[in-house]
Structure 1
Amino acid sequence: MLVFFALVLVLLALAVWGWHYLIDSGQYDGFLRSLPDGRLFSIRSVFSAIPNILERLPMTLWLTFWGSIFGLALALLFAIVKINRVPVLYRLQAFFVSFLRGTPILVQLMLTYYGIPLLLRYLKMEYNLNWNINDVPPIIFAVVAFAFNEAAYTSETIRAAIQAVDSGEIEAAKSLGMTNVQIYRRVIIPNAAVIATPSLINTLIGLTKGTSLAFSAGIIEMFAQAKIIGGRDYRYFERYISVALIYWIISIIIENIGRYIEKSMEIKSPDNITLKEGELANDQD
């Protein structure tokens, strides 16, 4: 997953560098002047807002990165607890997954945005802790909400992938004296990753688009930036087209990198070995 994000960030960094080059060289301004600027609908307004919206791209990627990393870790924990039916934890996991999959992500975002400060105030009053709750950035609340929502859906994908691993490989690892942790780390997780990668890529694309809801928690990401720009001249429709194009391009980049990684992780079948008639006769002798 870290390698995947590294490739995504490199490609996006190159794209942003090329974009800044077009702006600094004046070529983009010339392109904007060539576009029609209608009164009812302005194509020029669609593309003129893109540079300002891209200024918030790092925030969107930040939310996506940490939401997916923590979500993947929680999903793996949820999947292991469910497979092994760990006492007490199994019931808690079933409750959390059912709740998170049965409520909208926007509701979960609001619950974390208002609920976590209440919890922190309670701990401060109960244990006389010396901290300032107002110093906690709202980004933390958004990451928590995205991570738990991601874990609720991804845990089932990981569980199915783990259970699809050949039991013979697991038995072979046990016969070699590996512990359960070593079996998961060296046998189960690498094999399950190959199976789960396509679904995880789709989930990552969904999370990237879902970060647009972070504006509800007071976070200025790309969608919030488009909304702010639209409020200046009431060209909301054009600005929303601008941010839609950006999300679309990001999704295409993630999808193509995911396909590349999926092909690189594919377990290839051995080539058919053809024996010459002379070799076959010698083997029979």
Structure 2
Amino acid sequence: MRLIPVLAAAVVAGSLTTAQARPAAAPAVAVAPQYGTTHVYVAPSDLDRFVASFLATFGGQSTKQVVATVTPTPSSTTSQLLQTPVGTVSLFGFKTPIPTPFGAERNGYLVSDIDAAVKSARAAGADVIVETFPDPIGRDVVVQWPGGVNMQLYWHTTKPNYAAFQTVPENRIYVSRERADAFVRSFQRFAHAKVVSDDARAPGAEIGRPKDTYRRIRLEAAFGKFTVLSTDGHLPYPYGREMTGYEVTNLSDTLDKARAAGVTVLVEPYTADHRQAAVVQFPGGYIAEIHAAVK
């Protein structure tokens, strides 16, 4: 689905070997990390509270709210873009029932050529679950990667111009143990991503199970950062519900701002893998991870 008037992004991928990371046949279609957005759906009655709390927590601004049809079938939603120094949200408040499979796509990524992107995604092993459709400012498509990971790709008729992030957010992707390697290979081939780390015994505190370990793969690409969490699916709430991790300079200060703005801290700060992290829920139900580097 397309955010009006502006949206962005491009998809990313992971890999197991450097040789697999940049196959010659795969075109580079990413634009830049600041054109990637997290898709957030809230009830129209919660829109104002969500916007106020999100911007109070991270700073930034919102585009003007408009009402539009952003799906290939009839629907109506409010649409606006929340742009902060640490991440961007495409916010939707549907006035009609949401057509399937919209609402299940986690992110949107701007691509330089949508036809080339679709061809490349298919060649990399993705399913096209919503074929390319027009919107008022470009074209869109929804793809599904191995492991059931839905993402939207966008192309703008007129290329947008957004300021770079101060810190690049991470797309947090939970997949099964059986499909982790398939997801990483497929996604990496498409996005020309590099594997930053692949830890088979990452601390279970990161998924709410401090006595256990799990596999964590970190990826980086021109689209941004990605963390693949490969688990047995035994996840205590709210783990697995947070789609994006926002990096801030000072976690304590950010959480103070969040609480003052009506945000609920679901997981109190903990330290693991050289970062301090917490999980929060904004008014309207959106759940996110927030973290800061620990030196």
Normalising by structure 1, report the TM-score. 0.22
Structure holding more helix per residue: 1
Structure holding more strand per residue: 2
Normalising by structure 2, report the TM-score. 0.21
